[in-house]
Amino acid sequence: MPRRPAKRIMPIATARPHRYASFVRCAAATLALVFALGGQALALSRVKDLASIEGVRQNQLVGYGIVVGLNGTGDTLNNIPFTRQSLQAMLERLGVNTRGATMRTQNLAAVMVTASLPPFATQGNRIDITVSSLGDAKSLQGGTLLVTPLLGADGEVYALAQGSVAIAGFSAEGDAAKITRGVPTNGRVPNGAMIERETAFKMNDMRSLRLSLRNPDFTTSKRIAAAINDFMGADTAEPTDPATVTLQIPAKYNGNMIRLVTEIEQLKIEPDQTARVIVDERSGIIVMGRDVRVSTVAIAQGNLTVTITEQPQVSQPAPLSNGTTTVVPRTGVKVDTGDGNKLAMVKEGVTLRELVDGLNALGVGPRDLISILQAIKAAGALQADIEVM
């Protein structure tokens, strides 16, 4: 039988070079598209993150109570009269008469109890509370908060608090040393309050919806209204001011506000903000927005530094002489006028990154940068508001 010719085997790298190169180009294009889409997505924000529903908010609660069970770290009754009065009143309600008796216990402390009542919270739900000492207690560690009514702004009781206090700090001391970490006179009671009264707020009875912007801005409020109108297919939303967008409830959403709010919250827009520079002179922090621009300006920075050093020397008398040993002062004075600093040019319309790079090139610290930014603003070359914290 005739022999069949042997097949020629080609290396993978040279067999189909065009397919391999095509695969690489396709993968690179896909990654570039993903990064491009990701960059665009990062510029958009949900309406849920930009605005809140007017009326849907927390309510602050406050109450006065007593923490007991402290290991001698509570209030001094002789120094804190309201703690003594609270103890006497509590014992009298329990049938114990302490009028005229001398009490020297330091195992309790008067505290203020605060909490936030969430919107739409129902009776029986539990919320976290914060306990803070009022008197001269050293620590609330190991204490238990007794039943404390929590009042709202209207004076009504909305929750009852009680439970073991958990603190993050501690304090220990001896005769000659003391160490304190954190704040031992402030603690929390997780799920320490039970809601007894609900806030009256019925969303389904509303005929209009108001969105309150967290960062008021004319452009942002207009974009939110336009996005809602495009989604609804009708002019139902209108920006009434930079902080508010009013929405008339369409007929198909009457009695079903949850569905309307859920759909509106997921709409995405690009927020806009005023160019602003935030300056904290106490800590030297500078925060600049992306829209900060600078006109053409030349900057030079120099400091006058005077350094004085004292190196006194001892002068010894000659041997076998009647002289005395004296201290001779030696003073060194050094003046640095910053002559090496040069004038730097910042071009017009530079971006935030270019502005930061240009200021860093001057070799100055944050506090000097604050002065430079204020000087640029005074010269009219900084197109942004400077807000000093």
Is pLDDT at 76 greater than 60 in this prediction? Answer: yes
Q: Could you tell me the two tokens for 1?
A: 């039988």
- What is the C-alpha to C-alpha distance for residues 308 and 296, in angstroms, rounded to an integer? 40
Residue 18 CB partners (closer than 8 Å, separation 6+): none
- What is the C-alpha to C-alpha distance for residues 355 and 341, in angstroms, rounded to an integer? 18
pLDDT at 130: 96
The predicted-structure confidence for 196-243, as pLDDT tens digits, reads as follows 998 877 777 788 889 999 989 999 999 999 999 999 888 899 999 999
Buried b (16+ CB within 10 A) or exposed e, 283-312: eeebebeeebebeebebebeeeeeeeeeee
Parallel, antiparallel, or unpaired: how do β-strands 276-280 and 385-388 relate? parallel
Please tell me the total number of residues recorded for the chain in this structure. Answer: 389
* Residue 276: closest CA among 264, 261, 265, 287: 287
Cα angle vertex 361, ends 360, 366, to 5°? 25
Tally of CB atoms within 10 A around 360: 10
Torsion of CA 26, 31, 34, 39, to 10 degrees: -140
Is pLDDT at 355 greater than 80 in this prediction? Answer: no
Residue 304 CB partners (closer than 8 Å, separation 6+): 335, 336, 337, 338
- What is the C-alpha to C-alpha distance for residues 55 and 117, in angstroms, rounded to an integer? 13
Please report, for the chain, the start and end positions of each structural domain, with discontinuous segments joined by +: 59-195, 212-269, 275-303+339-389
- In the chain, what is the greatest distance between 2 CA atoms, to the nearest angstrom? 132
- What is the C-alpha to C-alpha distance for residues 382 and 276, in angstroms, rounded to an integer? 10
- What is the C-alpha to C-alpha distance for residues 279 and 229, in angstroms, rounded to an integer? 38
Distances (CA, A) of 297 to 126, 278, 321, 349, 383: 59, 21, 70, 11, 12
The predicted-structure confidence for 161-207, as pLDDT tens digits, reads as follows 999 999 887 777 766 677 777 788 999 999 999 999 988 777 777 88
C-alpha 160: how far from chain center: 30
- What is the C-alpha to C-alpha distance for residues 384 and 389, in angstroms, rounded to an integer? 16
The predicted-structure confidence for 370-387, as pLDDT tens digits, reads as follows 777 788 788 887 788 888
* Residue 52: closest CA among 215, 207, 294: 215
pLDDT tier at 337 (50, 70, 90 boundaries)?
low
- What is the C-alpha to C-alpha distance for residues 285 and 278, in angstroms, rounded to an integer? 8
Q: Could you tell me the two tokens for 198?
A: 């609900």
Is pLDDT at 26 greater than 60 in this prediction? Answer: no
Segment (H or E) for 113:
strand 108-117
- What proportion of the chain, given as a percentage, has pLDDT over 90? 32
Q: Could you tell me the two tokens for 203?
A: 């969303």
Parallel, antiparallel, or unpaired: how do β-strands 166-167 and 170-173 relate? unpaired
